[in-house]
């Protein structure tokens, strides 16, 4: 009977040892690094926006990225988005497109290579929540989709 308990205890310990996945800990650390990279990427968007630097703003947008602005206009592809942003940042109300501050509220991984991020933004044109779908390709995170949802009414000009 003692030997049976010993055998059972040994099998239980062996099972726990074999089921422990040392890669799981490595994935957790890698995911922390990925989250930090995604947060930095989104922070850099705001910095580029405040400088009216469309090229830097689009630097990590995938070629086939989609974006929907606060008015529901849908831009398909980086080329279409770049054209819109250049026109927007050259418009007479360009000075309203500065002083953006934000905080990334959440980064949630759907897979190790795909994440969803939510950013709360305050700028002269009002408050909004931005949702990003980002994908890791060739070791770097790329924005695949960005949506802007206005909070409240737009300010009067």
Q: Output the DSSP codes for 63-81.
A: EEEEEE-TT--EEESHHHH
Residue 84 near residue 75, CB atoms below 8 Å: yes
Q: Is the pLDDT of residue 3 over 70?
A: no
Q: How far apart are the first and last CA of the chain?
A: 85
| Mean pLDDT taken over the chain | 84
The predicted structure's pLDDT at residue 21:
41
Q: Is the pLDDT of residue 94 over 60?
A: yes
Of the options 3.10.450.50, 2.40.50.140, 2.40.10.480, 3.40.50.2000, the CATH number for the domain spanning 23-151: 3.10.450.50
Residue with tokens 């819109």: 84
Global pTM reads 0.78
Domain borders along the chain are: 23-151
Residue with tokens 């400088």: 51
The predicted structure's pLDDT at residue 68:
97
The predicted structure's pLDDT at residue 98:
84
């Amino acid at each position: 009977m003692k030997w049976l308990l010993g055998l059972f205890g040994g099998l239980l310990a062996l099972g726990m040892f074999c089921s422990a996945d040392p890669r799981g800990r490595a994935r957790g650390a890698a995911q922390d690094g990925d989250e930090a990279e995604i947060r930095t990427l989104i922070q850099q968007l705001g910095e580029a926006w405040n400088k009216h630097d469309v090229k830097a703003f689009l630097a990590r947008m995938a070629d086939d990225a989609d974006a929907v602005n606060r008015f529901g206009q849908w831009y398909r592809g980086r080329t279409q988005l770049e054209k819109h942003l250049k026109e927007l940042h050259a418009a007479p109300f360009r000075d309203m497109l500065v002083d953006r501050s934000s905080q990334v509220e959440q980064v949630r991984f759907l897979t190790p290579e795909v994440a969803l991020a939510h950013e709360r933004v305050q700028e002269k044109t009002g408050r909004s929540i931005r949702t990003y779908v980002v994908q890791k390709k060739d070791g770097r995170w790329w924005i695949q989709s960005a949506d802007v949802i206005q909070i409240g009414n737009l300010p009067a000009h």
